[in-house]
Amino acid sequence: MNIQSQLLMNMTQGMFHLYLLYATQNAGIYNTLQQGPKTIEQLSQACHIEKNLLKRLVRPVMAIGCMEERDGKLALTEMGEVLCDNTKDSLAGFLRFNVKIATAYWSKMDAALAHGAMPFEELEKQGFFDAQMEEHAKFDDFNEMMRDSSKNIDLTDYLQSRTKVPDTICDIGGGAGDIISKFLEFYPEAKGIVRDLSVAEEACKENLASRGITKDRFQFQVADFFREVPPEAELYILSRILHDWDDEKCQIILDHIGQAMGEQSQLLVIEKMIPKEMDARHMHMYMNDLYMWAVCGGKERTEEEFDGLFAKAGLKIKDIYPVTDEEYVIEIEKDNLEYGEL
Ligand SMILES: C[S@@+](CC[C@H](N)C(=O)[O-])C[C@H]1O[C@@H](n2cnc3c(N)ncnc32)[C@H](O)[C@@H]1O
Protein backbone atom coordinates (compact mmCIF):
# COMPACT_ATOMS: atom_id res chain seq x y z
CA MET A 1 0.00 0.00 0.00
CA ASN A 2 1.46 3.40 -0.90
CA ILE A 3 1.82 6.14 1.69
CA GLN A 4 -1.28 8.08 0.53
CA SER A 5 -3.48 4.99 0.74
CA GLN A 6 -1.97 4.20 4.13
CA LEU A 7 -2.83 7.72 5.31
CA LEU A 8 -6.37 7.47 4.01
CA MET A 9 -6.77 4.04 5.55
CA ASN A 10 -5.74 5.47 8.93
CA MET A 11 -8.23 8.31 8.50
CA THR A 12 -11.10 6.03 7.57
CA GLN A 13 -10.33 4.12 10.77
CA GLY A 14 -10.06 7.37 12.74
CA MET A 15 -13.35 6.71 14.49
CA PHE A 16 -12.02 3.36 15.71
CA HIS A 17 -8.90 5.08 17.08
CA LEU A 18 -11.20 7.39 19.01
CA TYR A 19 -13.18 4.47 20.47
CA LEU A 20 -9.99 2.60 21.31
CA LEU A 21 -8.60 5.58 23.21
CA TYR A 22 -11.92 6.07 24.96
CA ALA A 23 -12.29 2.41 25.97
CA THR A 24 -8.73 2.21 27.28
CA GLN A 25 -9.14 5.53 29.11
CA ASN A 26 -12.43 4.42 30.58
CA ALA A 27 -10.86 1.15 31.76
CA GLY A 28 -8.36 3.22 33.76
CA ILE A 29 -5.26 2.23 31.78
CA TYR A 30 -3.72 5.71 31.52
CA ASN A 31 -4.58 6.74 35.08
CA THR A 32 -3.02 3.48 36.33
CA LEU A 33 0.18 3.93 34.33
CA GLN A 34 0.45 7.49 35.59
CA GLN A 35 1.40 5.99 38.95
CA GLY A 36 4.40 4.29 37.30
CA PRO A 37 5.30 1.66 34.64
CA LYS A 38 3.58 -1.71 34.99
CA THR A 39 4.06 -5.20 33.58
CA ILE A 40 1.22 -6.44 31.40
CA GLU A 41 0.19 -8.75 34.29
CA GLN A 42 0.05 -5.85 36.77
CA LEU A 43 -1.93 -3.69 34.35
CA SER A 44 -4.27 -6.57 33.54
CA GLN A 45 -5.00 -7.04 37.24
CA ALA A 46 -5.42 -3.34 37.99
CA CYS A 47 -7.79 -2.71 35.07
CA HIS A 48 -9.59 -6.08 35.06
CA ILE A 49 -8.82 -6.85 31.40
CA GLU A 50 -7.77 -10.32 30.33
CA LYS A 51 -4.01 -10.34 29.69
CA ASN A 52 -4.02 -11.47 26.03
CA LEU A 53 -6.76 -9.03 25.08
CA LEU A 54 -4.89 -6.26 26.88
CA LYS A 55 -1.76 -7.02 24.83
CA ARG A 56 -3.81 -6.58 21.65
CA LEU A 57 -5.36 -3.32 22.89
CA VAL A 58 -1.98 -1.95 23.87
CA ARG A 59 -0.33 -2.55 20.47
CA PRO A 60 -2.20 0.15 18.50
CA VAL A 61 -2.08 2.50 21.52
CA MET A 62 1.71 2.15 21.42
CA ALA A 63 1.67 2.71 17.66
CA ILE A 64 -0.33 5.92 18.18
CA GLY A 65 2.39 7.00 20.62
CA CYS A 66 0.56 7.05 23.96
CA MET A 67 2.58 4.25 25.58
CA GLU A 68 6.02 2.72 25.26
CA GLU A 69 7.96 -0.22 26.60
CA ARG A 70 10.50 0.65 29.30
CA ASP A 71 12.64 -2.08 30.92
CA GLY A 72 10.08 -4.75 30.09
CA LYS A 73 7.19 -2.69 31.48
CA LEU A 74 4.52 -0.52 29.90
CA ALA A 75 4.98 3.18 30.51
CA LEU A 76 3.09 6.33 29.59
CA THR A 77 4.59 8.71 27.05
CA GLU A 78 4.09 12.47 27.27
CA MET A 79 1.23 12.04 24.79
CA GLY A 80 -0.37 9.37 26.99
CA GLU A 81 -0.22 11.71 30.01
CA VAL A 82 -2.74 13.95 28.25
CA LEU A 83 -5.29 11.13 28.49
CA CYS A 84 -5.04 10.98 32.29
CA ASP A 85 -7.78 12.70 34.25
CA ASN A 86 -5.64 14.95 36.36
CA THR A 87 -2.95 16.31 34.06
CA LYS A 88 -2.91 20.05 33.49
CA ASP A 89 -3.97 20.01 29.82
CA SER A 90 -5.94 16.77 30.06
CA LEU A 91 -7.99 15.83 27.01
CA ALA A 92 -9.81 13.06 28.89
CA GLY A 93 -13.04 15.10 29.20
CA PHE A 94 -12.87 16.06 25.52
CA LEU A 95 -12.41 12.41 24.58
CA ARG A 96 -15.44 11.39 26.67
CA PHE A 97 -17.57 14.21 25.25
CA ASN A 98 -16.59 13.32 21.69
CA VAL A 99 -17.47 9.66 22.10
CA LYS A 100 -20.63 10.10 24.13
CA ILE A 101 -22.11 13.17 22.42
CA ALA A 102 -20.22 14.80 19.55
CA THR A 103 -19.78 11.75 17.29
CA ALA A 104 -23.57 11.39 17.16
CA TYR A 105 -23.80 14.95 15.76
CA TRP A 106 -20.93 14.43 13.30
CA SER A 107 -22.58 11.25 12.07
CA LYS A 108 -25.49 13.39 10.88
CA MET A 109 -23.35 15.61 8.66
CA ASP A 110 -24.39 13.82 5.47
CA ALA A 111 -28.08 14.15 6.35
CA ALA A 112 -27.57 17.80 7.30
CA LEU A 113 -25.98 18.52 3.92
CA ALA A 114 -28.79 16.72 2.14
CA HIS A 115 -31.46 18.68 4.05
CA GLY A 116 -29.72 22.07 4.18
CA ALA A 117 -29.81 21.82 7.98
CA MET A 118 -27.26 21.70 10.78
CA PRO A 119 -26.03 18.31 12.05
CA PHE A 120 -27.26 18.75 15.64
CA GLU A 121 -30.75 19.59 14.32
CA GLU A 122 -30.92 16.17 12.72
CA LEU A 123 -30.67 14.61 16.16
CA GLU A 124 -32.00 17.08 18.69
CA LYS A 125 -35.23 18.92 18.36
CA GLN A 126 -33.62 21.82 20.20
CA GLY A 127 -30.37 23.76 20.42
CA PHE A 128 -27.30 22.59 22.29
CA PHE A 129 -27.76 24.92 25.28
CA ASP A 130 -31.52 24.22 25.53
CA ALA A 131 -30.67 20.52 25.67
CA GLN A 132 -28.26 21.33 28.51
CA MET A 133 -31.01 23.09 30.46
CA GLU A 134 -33.14 19.96 30.12
CA GLU A 135 -30.55 17.32 30.96
CA HIS A 136 -27.54 18.98 32.51
CA ALA A 137 -25.70 15.84 33.67
CA LYS A 138 -25.45 14.58 30.07
CA PHE A 139 -23.14 17.52 29.36
CA ASP A 140 -20.92 17.24 32.44
CA ASP A 141 -17.92 16.05 30.43
CA PHE A 142 -18.31 18.93 28.02
CA ASN A 143 -18.63 21.50 30.77
CA GLU A 144 -15.68 20.03 32.64
CA MET A 145 -13.58 20.19 29.49
CA MET A 146 -14.57 23.80 28.80
CA ARG A 147 -13.85 24.70 32.40
CA ASP A 148 -10.41 23.10 32.26
CA SER A 149 -9.52 25.10 29.19
CA SER A 150 -10.82 28.34 30.77
CA LYS A 151 -8.94 27.64 34.00
CA ASN A 152 -5.73 26.92 32.12
CA ILE A 153 -5.72 29.88 29.77
CA ASP A 154 -2.96 32.18 31.01
CA LEU A 155 -4.06 35.82 30.85
CA THR A 156 -1.27 37.18 33.09
CA ASP A 157 0.78 38.82 30.31
CA TYR A 158 -2.34 40.30 28.81
CA LEU A 159 -3.57 41.65 32.15
CA GLN A 160 -0.14 43.15 32.88
CA SER A 161 -0.15 44.88 29.50
CA ARG A 162 -3.40 46.70 30.25
CA THR A 163 -3.29 50.28 31.37
CA LYS A 164 -6.96 50.87 32.24
CA VAL A 165 -8.08 49.62 35.67
CA PRO A 166 -11.80 48.82 35.54
CA ASP A 167 -14.04 49.14 38.57
CA THR A 168 -16.90 47.05 37.17
CA ILE A 169 -16.52 43.94 35.04
CA CYS A 170 -19.43 42.08 33.47
CA ASP A 171 -18.87 38.62 32.02
CA ILE A 172 -21.61 37.75 29.54
CA GLY A 173 -22.18 33.99 29.40
CA GLY A 174 -19.45 33.77 32.05
CA GLY A 175 -20.30 30.16 32.97
CA ALA A 176 -18.59 28.98 36.14
CA GLY A 177 -16.63 32.23 36.42
CA ASP A 178 -13.21 30.81 35.54
CA ILE A 179 -12.36 33.80 33.34
CA ILE A 180 -13.80 36.65 35.43
CA SER A 181 -12.04 35.31 38.52
CA LYS A 182 -8.68 35.94 36.81
CA PHE A 183 -9.71 39.58 36.35
CA LEU A 184 -11.06 39.96 39.87
CA GLU A 185 -7.87 38.47 41.33
CA PHE A 186 -5.76 40.84 39.22
CA TYR A 187 -7.89 43.91 40.05
CA PRO A 188 -8.61 43.50 43.78
CA GLU A 189 -10.67 46.70 43.90
CA ALA A 190 -12.95 45.72 41.01
CA LYS A 191 -16.47 44.32 41.31
CA GLY A 192 -17.77 41.65 38.97
CA ILE A 193 -21.00 40.30 37.54
CA VAL A 194 -21.44 36.99 35.75
CA ARG A 195 -24.54 36.75 33.59
CA ASP A 196 -25.54 33.31 32.40
CA LEU A 197 -28.37 30.78 32.40
CA SER A 198 -29.56 29.39 35.73
CA VAL A 199 -27.71 26.08 35.15
CA ALA A 200 -24.39 27.89 35.68
CA GLU A 201 -25.30 29.65 38.94
CA GLU A 202 -24.34 27.09 41.57
CA ALA A 203 -20.93 26.16 40.10
CA CYS A 204 -20.11 29.83 39.55
CA LYS A 205 -20.93 30.91 43.10
CA GLU A 206 -18.99 27.96 44.54
CA ASN A 207 -15.99 28.66 42.32
CA LEU A 208 -15.74 32.36 43.19
CA ALA A 209 -16.21 31.66 46.90
CA SER A 210 -13.46 29.00 46.81
CA ARG A 211 -11.09 31.62 45.38
CA GLY A 212 -11.84 33.97 48.25
CA ILE A 213 -13.80 36.43 46.11
CA THR A 214 -16.36 37.68 48.59
CA LYS A 215 -20.06 38.30 47.97
CA ASP A 216 -19.66 42.07 48.20
CA ARG A 217 -17.40 41.94 45.11
CA PHE A 218 -19.38 39.57 42.97
CA GLN A 219 -22.89 38.70 41.86
CA PHE A 220 -24.39 36.13 39.54
CA GLN A 221 -27.31 37.32 37.41
CA VAL A 222 -29.56 34.84 35.63
CA ALA A 223 -29.94 36.42 32.20
CA ASP A 224 -30.47 35.37 28.61
CA PHE A 225 -28.10 37.27 26.34
CA PHE A 226 -30.57 37.06 23.45
CA ARG A 227 -33.29 38.80 25.41
CA GLU A 228 -31.65 41.20 27.79
CA VAL A 229 -29.35 44.19 27.66
CA PRO A 230 -26.70 43.88 30.41
CA PRO A 231 -26.13 46.65 32.98
CA GLU A 232 -23.54 49.32 32.24
CA ALA A 233 -19.97 48.30 33.11
CA GLU A 234 -16.50 49.55 32.31
CA LEU A 235 -15.33 46.22 31.06
CA TYR A 236 -17.34 43.43 29.40
CA ILE A 237 -16.03 39.95 28.75
CA LEU A 238 -17.40 37.64 26.07
CA SER A 239 -15.28 34.52 26.27
CA ARG A 240 -15.85 31.54 23.95
CA ILE A 241 -19.42 32.65 23.28
CA LEU A 242 -19.49 33.94 19.70
CA HIS A 243 -18.14 30.68 18.24
CA ASP A 244 -21.22 28.90 19.62
CA TRP A 245 -23.58 30.87 17.37
CA ASP A 246 -24.26 31.79 13.75
CA ASP A 247 -23.86 35.39 12.59
CA GLU A 248 -27.48 36.37 13.19
CA LYS A 249 -27.45 35.17 16.78
CA CYS A 250 -24.07 36.82 17.42
CA GLN A 251 -25.52 40.06 16.12
CA ILE A 252 -28.22 40.01 18.79
CA ILE A 253 -25.68 39.38 21.57
CA LEU A 254 -23.36 42.12 20.32
CA ASP A 255 -26.22 44.60 19.78
CA HIS A 256 -27.27 44.13 23.42
CA ILE A 257 -23.74 44.68 24.70
CA GLY A 258 -23.28 47.66 22.38
CA GLN A 259 -26.45 49.22 23.80
CA ALA A 260 -25.14 48.85 27.34
CA MET A 261 -21.62 50.13 26.67
CA GLY A 262 -20.76 53.68 27.61
CA GLU A 263 -18.25 55.74 25.60
CA GLN A 264 -15.41 54.57 27.86
CA SER A 265 -16.48 50.93 28.13
CA GLN A 266 -14.43 48.20 26.59
CA LEU A 267 -15.45 44.73 25.45
CA LEU A 268 -12.97 41.85 25.49
CA VAL A 269 -13.79 38.97 23.19
CA ILE A 270 -11.76 35.83 23.86
CA GLU A 271 -11.86 33.52 20.87
CA LYS A 272 -9.84 31.46 18.44
CA MET A 273 -9.26 33.04 15.04
CA ILE A 274 -8.89 31.23 11.74
CA PRO A 275 -5.80 32.50 9.90
CA LYS A 276 -6.56 34.29 6.66
CA GLU A 277 -4.39 32.11 4.42
CA MET A 278 -5.51 28.55 3.71
CA ASP A 279 -2.75 26.21 4.90
CA ALA A 280 -2.78 22.52 5.81
CA ARG A 281 -1.04 23.43 9.09
CA HIS A 282 -4.35 24.97 10.22
CA MET A 283 -6.24 21.69 9.77
CA HIS A 284 -7.10 21.64 13.47
CA MET A 285 -8.81 25.06 13.18
CA TYR A 286 -10.76 24.04 10.08
CA MET A 287 -11.99 20.94 11.88
CA ASN A 288 -12.77 22.96 14.98
CA ASP A 289 -14.90 25.25 12.84
CA LEU A 290 -16.92 22.28 11.55
CA TYR A 291 -17.06 20.88 15.07
CA MET A 292 -18.82 24.07 16.22
CA TRP A 293 -21.23 23.79 13.30
CA ALA A 294 -21.96 20.11 13.91
CA VAL A 295 -22.48 20.43 17.66
CA CYS A 296 -24.27 23.74 18.06
CA GLY A 297 -24.54 25.52 14.71
CA GLY A 298 -21.68 27.90 15.51
CA LYS A 299 -18.48 28.72 13.66
CA GLU A 300 -14.86 29.78 14.10
CA ARG A 301 -14.11 33.09 12.40
CA THR A 302 -11.33 34.99 10.68
CA GLU A 303 -10.39 38.48 11.88
CA GLU A 304 -12.24 39.91 8.90
CA GLU A 305 -15.41 38.03 9.84
CA PHE A 306 -15.19 39.27 13.43
CA ASP A 307 -14.64 42.79 12.15
CA GLY A 308 -17.84 42.59 10.09
CA LEU A 309 -19.86 41.36 13.08
CA PHE A 310 -18.57 44.11 15.39
CA ALA A 311 -19.11 46.85 12.81
CA LYS A 312 -22.78 45.91 12.43
CA ALA A 313 -23.20 46.39 16.20
CA GLY A 314 -21.52 49.82 16.10
CA LEU A 315 -18.29 48.43 17.58
CA LYS A 316 -14.72 48.29 16.34
CA ILE A 317 -11.55 46.36 17.10
CA LYS A 318 -8.98 48.42 19.01
CA ASP A 319 -6.31 45.79 19.50
CA ILE A 320 -5.72 42.06 19.26
CA TYR A 321 -3.58 40.27 21.81
CA PRO A 322 -2.51 36.61 21.26
CA VAL A 323 -2.78 34.49 24.40
CA THR A 324 -2.11 31.01 22.96
CA ASP A 325 -1.06 29.74 19.51
CA GLU A 326 -4.59 30.16 18.27
CA GLU A 327 -6.54 32.11 20.87
CA TYR A 328 -6.79 35.88 21.22
CA VAL A 329 -8.13 38.64 23.40
CA ILE A 330 -9.80 41.05 20.98
CA GLU A 331 -10.23 44.50 22.53
CA ILE A 332 -13.30 46.27 21.27
CA GLU A 333 -14.68 49.72 21.78
CA LYS A 334 -17.65 51.68 20.55
CA ASP A 335 -17.31 53.09 17.10
CA ASN A 336 -18.17 56.78 17.07
CA LEU A 337 -20.28 56.28 13.97
CA GLU A 338 -24.01 56.24 14.58
CA TYR A 339 -25.87 53.08 13.55
CA GLY A 340 -27.51 54.92 10.67
CA GLU A 341 -24.15 55.86 9.18
CA LEU A 342 -23.11 52.23 8.69
C1 LIG B 1 -18.63 27.69 26.01
S2 LIG B 1 -19.29 28.25 27.51
C3 LIG B 1 -18.20 29.61 27.89
C4 LIG B 1 -18.15 29.92 29.36
C5 LIG B 1 -17.20 31.06 29.77
N6 LIG B 1 -17.49 32.29 29.05
C7 LIG B 1 -15.75 30.64 29.60
O8 LIG B 1 -15.07 31.11 28.68
O9 LIG B 1 -15.30 29.82 30.41
C10 LIG B 1 -20.76 29.03 26.90
C11 LIG B 1 -21.61 29.66 27.98
O12 LIG B 1 -22.71 30.34 27.38
C13 LIG B 1 -23.82 30.19 28.24
N14 LIG B 1 -25.07 30.47 27.50
C15 LIG B 1 -25.62 29.73 26.47
N16 LIG B 1 -26.76 30.30 26.05
C17 LIG B 1 -26.95 31.41 26.81
C18 LIG B 1 -27.95 32.42 26.83
N19 LIG B 1 -29.00 32.39 25.99
N20 LIG B 1 -27.83 33.44 27.71
C21 LIG B 1 -26.77 33.48 28.59
N22 LIG B 1 -25.78 32.55 28.61
C23 LIG B 1 -25.87 31.52 27.73
C24 LIG B 1 -23.71 28.76 28.68
O25 LIG B 1 -24.52 28.49 29.81
C26 LIG B 1 -22.21 28.65 28.94
O27 LIG B 1 -21.88 29.01 30.26
Give the tens place of pLDDT for each residue, 25-36.
999 999 999 999
Does this chain's domain 3-81 share its CATH topology with 153-341? no
Ligand 1 centroid–CA 24 distance in Å is: 31
Structure confidence at residue 164 (pLDDT) = 87
- What average pLDDT score do residues 23-52 get? 98
CB of 200 closer than 6 A to ligand 1?
yes
Which candidate, 63, 88, 64, 78, places its Cα nearest to that of 33?
Answer: 78
**Atom 14 of ligand 1, residue of closest alpha carbon:** 173
- Residue 64 · residue 30 · CB < 8 Å: no
Angle at alpha carbon of residue 101, lines to 328 and 171, rounded to 5°: 35
d(CA 297, CA 328): 22
Q: How far apart are CA 27 and CA 102, in angstroms?
A: 21
Residue 337 pLDDT: 61
pLDDT in tens, 210-264: 999 999 999 999 999 999 999 999 999 999 999 999 999 999 999 999 999 999 9
- Does the global pTM surpass 0.85? yes
CATH number of 3-81, picked from 3.40.50.1970, 2.60.120.20, 1.10.10.10, 3.40.920.10: 1.10.10.10
What is the tens place of the pLDDT at every residue in 281-305?
Answer: 999 999 999 999 999 999 999 999 9
Give the distance (Å) from ligand 1 centre to CA of residue 196. Answer: 6
Residue 341 has pLDDT above 60, yes or no: no
Q: Average pLDDT of 145-154?
A: 86
Classified by CATH at the fold level, domain 153-341 comes out as Rossmann fold (3.40.50)
Q: SS3 of 191, please?
A: strand
> Could you give the CA distance from residue 63 to residue 81 in angstroms, rounded to a whole number?
15
Domain ranges across the chain: 3-81, 92-144, 153-341
Ligand 1 contact via 143 beta carbon (within 6 Å)? no
Give 339's pLDDT tier (boundaries 50, 70, 90). Answer: low
* pLDDT reading at 270 higher than 70: yes
Mutate to test the pocket of ligand 1, among 129, 139, 193, 242 (most ligand atoms within 8 A of CB): 129
CA 246 to ligand 1 centroid distance, Å: 15
Of residues 49 and 8, which shows the higher confidence score?
49
Whole-angstrom Cα distance, residue 246 to residue 9? 34
Residue 342 has pLDDT above 70, yes or no: no
With beta carbons less than 8 A apart as the criterion, state whether 169 and 234 touch.
Answer: yes
Rounded to the nearest angstrom, the distance between the alpha carbon of 173 and the centre of ligand 1 is 4
